[in-house]
Chains A and B, each alone.
Chain A
């Protein structure tokens, strides 16, 4: 690992063992030089991107360590590719229950896959998050090297474990700022025998909201639902081919093949009884294509220009989302913004030209934090910029309350006192 002082070249480290990884981090600590942790680099623009730092690749930490389908636990290297994991699980009729979205590789200009370490570090989830949870709900244990240059482990390889603090939750969504994961153990579940979908036509967000309320509350488990508004639908050339023939609410149901027809029929009946399904269309065979398109956020990402556009995710209680959607489309300035309601009404994705980003996010955050922002009160929503062009510097994450900010800072200092792991990635004040 030759280093030439005075020559500004970006070093790339590819440690192949835990010992080498410890060495790289210890070196970074001793010289106070930051490291950008990368797997495939597909989510580099989510959070504040480091520029000019040395890179530390996790790719050598790959491969399955242990997989017992009937124990529902898979242990693998943190640098293992998501597509490889999904393929192996599918071979045993299983899947990652949190169905991580594939959209990062669609909008990334450089990466065509993701590592499981990156998926966990960003707490990536899918449209079923409301019912099935996110990555953080399925990490059972891990080994890592912290920003102190120390190897440590947490959790275990079993599903029921409350021994000590739940550090698995801490590293999920930490964006690599606490430790570099080397090995992870995941809870996996059987993949459903059958997936089917349905569409209810509507171009009115209040109508869509009422429909999604019913779907969320229904005793028939609707795994996920989305609302594709009219302007997003019109701008999506692949809509019909994906089974979406008109704007409206789309729902997905998973389970046994035999159980599907009565469940879909029951939903149709109950929606009709509530006066909410003037045009209910079952989508049977195109359902996998449809869910794949929505996992990639295709309605918004199909012609995405990463160099001039931004992608924002608003996360709120379903009853608060429509007002925020209204803000995002209000006035002349925001006519160029396209949206998609995801995750059974909990997420609003917004695609915006980069020059509107600061204004858009400013308005949304002001509404989300209005009234309670100076106290320990709860914010109404979390507004996160999952992609903005390189060089665009709008704060990617919301400010938390002062007490929470203090806790975050202390935790960071405990695990990475010198601040070498992805400094500034999560907290813009670094």
Chain B
């Protein structure tokens, strides 16, 4: 991953940028050209070019990487977004969209020669429809903000990534965010009905709609998870759900990871799909308990937190069954929440796992990969070997229900070489995920972080087919150009047909 940064920093941006990234004079010229082209369409406070004012925008949640953009623009509505994009297209300036900048994969890392387009001013909830059970919100509304708007009426928005108090719904769509409850309730892509998108040329388009079906291809489905590469989302229509009658959590301690993993399989085999099913290893348990004092069993090698929700009778039945299954798989401790307060308390340690780990180490590097669940013991064993090899500890938090693993690699950036070792360790973990039949990223996205590992999972033809989608939306490659794909091809090149067995298509047509 370090070489990804070097290449990124060394490049002066996309072809034809005239050294804007490295030459202060060229940079100042380009800024002036941009300001002039915007021609007063944005208010002064929406157009940031001063170096010190740009500093907060240099990084997203992948804080080891910082790049100062050419300018940060903060449009206030869809119309302004469209005008900005049209101008950037005309001037050939790349654009990096940004919601709250909580991305852990560098998805909102700026381009030195590009505009950072912040959507935070689009922060209004436009429509709440309790008959059709939808909420239409501007892209800059926070994830939890949507739930807060409807909770007094007894509803909520289900996907709950752990950054939900800060992350935006537009960013959620860009990353196809998940969260603890996505095993039962799905990812962002399963919970939205439509978006308003602005293309790189500045055209506003409604994708999806009020009903469940639209003609043509599932553009909503491909835009979700497209990491800001296909268009800029300015509005999202989400589905809201009635709050379940009851929710209960269980804390299950196990003497070994293998026992806990087998218990998870047994719960699913019993036909129970918990609303949430999380696992933490010993180091994560200890860190979380020291930080949050949630009453986690410190003697356990693995902790499962299971949550069931629904009507009271079903919750009683499922909670009882989970406790029984846990005991049958050697659980050393079984506790069920008896009140809403206690339920939230059980979750407190898990929800604070990342800052908790931040307390036991100067720095940590949060990984994200998915594996088939039966591979967990093997993967943890291999990670322990890597931990010895790299001389760095790793704590594990695991969405046990769906196999999404978050290893937290502990390091100290002030020790020379530790950042590089942490990144090498992380890359090895992701290669291992793919090796055992999993994938590079379950919810954080590829961004810049995992870009150069895409070849572990996809061959050149696989990647070329994906990139043809890009060609349909943004043939000039101005949106988030350095993200996700390691090798960019020109769209004309991707459009060419191969010759099969010496035969050209339409052999009878004259060729010039």
B190 and A137 contacting across the interface, CB-CB below 8 Å: yes
A149 and B212 contacting across the interface, CB-CB below 8 Å: no
9-residue interface stretch from A101-109, A282-290, A379-387: A379-387
- Residue in B218, B312, B445, B473 with the greatest tally of chain A CB atoms within 10 Å: B218
A262 and B462 contacting across the interface, CB-CB below 8 Å: no
B204 and A414 contacting across the interface, CB-CB below 8 Å: no
B393: CB under 8 A from chain A? no
A112: CB under 8 A from chain B? no
B344: CB under 8 A from chain A? no
B211 and A316 contacting across the interface, CB-CB below 8 Å: yes
Contact of A149 among B132, B225, B473, B500 (CB under 8 A): B500
- Residue in B204, B437, B464, B468 with the greatest tally of chain A CB atoms within 10 Å: B468
A54 vs B425: C-alpha distance when bound (angstroms): 53
9-residue interface stretch from A37-45, A169-177, A301-309, A350-358: A169-177
Contact of B498 among A150, A160, A255, A378 (CB under 8 A): A150
A415 vs B220: C-alpha distance when bound (angstroms): 18
A146: CB under 8 A from chain B? yes
9-residue interface stretch from B46-54, B92-100, B241-249: B241-249
Instruction: Tell me the minimal C-beta distance from B389 to chain A in angstroms.
Output: 26
A347 vs B461: C-alpha distance when bound (angstroms): 39
B417: CB under 8 A from chain A? no
- Restricting to A247-296, which residues have a CB under 8 Å from any CB of B? 255-256, 258-259, 262-263, 266
Contact of B211 among A73, A163, A382 (CB under 8 A): A382
A158: CB under 8 A from chain B? yes
A213 neighbours in B (Cβ, 8 Å): 131
B295: CB under 8 A from chain A? no
Residue count of chain A within 8 Å CB distance of chain B:
100
Instruction: Tell me the minimal C-beta distance from A371 to chain B in angstroms.
Output: 13
B206: CB under 8 A from chain A? yes
Contact of B505 among A30, A153, A377 (CB under 8 A): A30
- Residue in A129, A398, A405, A407 with the greatest tally of chain B CB atoms within 10 Å: A407
A398 vs B213: C-alpha distance when bound (angstroms): 11
A398-412 interface bits toward B, Cβ cutoff 8 Å, 1 = contact, 0 = none: 111101110110110
B222 and A26 contacting across the interface, CB-CB below 8 Å: no
A220 and B222 contacting across the interface, CB-CB below 8 Å: no
A381 vs B211: C-alpha distance when bound (angstroms): 6
B7: CB under 8 A from chain A? no
- Residue in A70, A73, A134, A146 with the greatest tally of chain B CB atoms within 10 Å: A70
B441 and A161 contacting across the interface, CB-CB below 8 Å: yes
B194 neighbours in A (Cβ, 8 Å): 378
B469 and A397 contacting across the interface, CB-CB below 8 Å: no
Instruction: Tell me the minimal C-beta distance from A24 to chain B in angstroms.
Output: 11
B372 and A68 contacting across the interface, CB-CB below 8 Å: yes
B182-222 interface bits toward A, Cβ cutoff 8 Å, 1 = contact, 0 = none: 11001101100010000100011111011111111111111
A29 vs B204: C-alpha distance when bound (angstroms): 35
A381 neighbours in B (Cβ, 8 Å): 210-211
A265 vs B131: C-alpha distance when bound (angstroms): 23
A154 touching B466 in the complex, CB below 8 Å, given contacts A26-B500, A399-B215: yes
B396: CB under 8 A from chain A? no
B311 and A263 contacting across the interface, CB-CB below 8 Å: yes
Contact of B215 among A71, A134, A384 (CB under 8 A): A384
A381 vs B314: C-alpha distance when bound (angstroms): 37
- Residue in A26, A130, A148, A220 with the greatest tally of chain B CB atoms within 10 Å: A148
A190 and B273 contacting across the interface, CB-CB below 8 Å: yes
A: residues with CB less than 8 A from B are 26, 29-30, 32, 68-73, 93, 123, 129-130, 133-134, 136-137, 146, 148-154, 156-170, 172-174, 178, 189-191, 193, 213, 216-221, 255-256, 258-259, 262-263, 266, 313, 315-320, 343, 346-347, 376-382, 384, 397-401, 403-405, 407-408, 410-411, 413-415, 417-418, 426-427
14 residue pairs from A and B, CB less than 8 Å apart: A26-B500, A70-B373, A156-B437, A158-B442, A160-B439, A162-B175, A166-B222, A173-B218, A255-B311, A263-B311, A384-B215, A397-B215, A397-B216, A404-B207
Extra contacts besides A150-B498, A158-B437, A319-B131 (12): CB < 8 Å: A137-B189, A150-B465, A152-B461, A154-B462, A160-B443, A164-B457, A165-B226, A172-B221, A399-B215, A404-B216, A414-B468, A417-B497
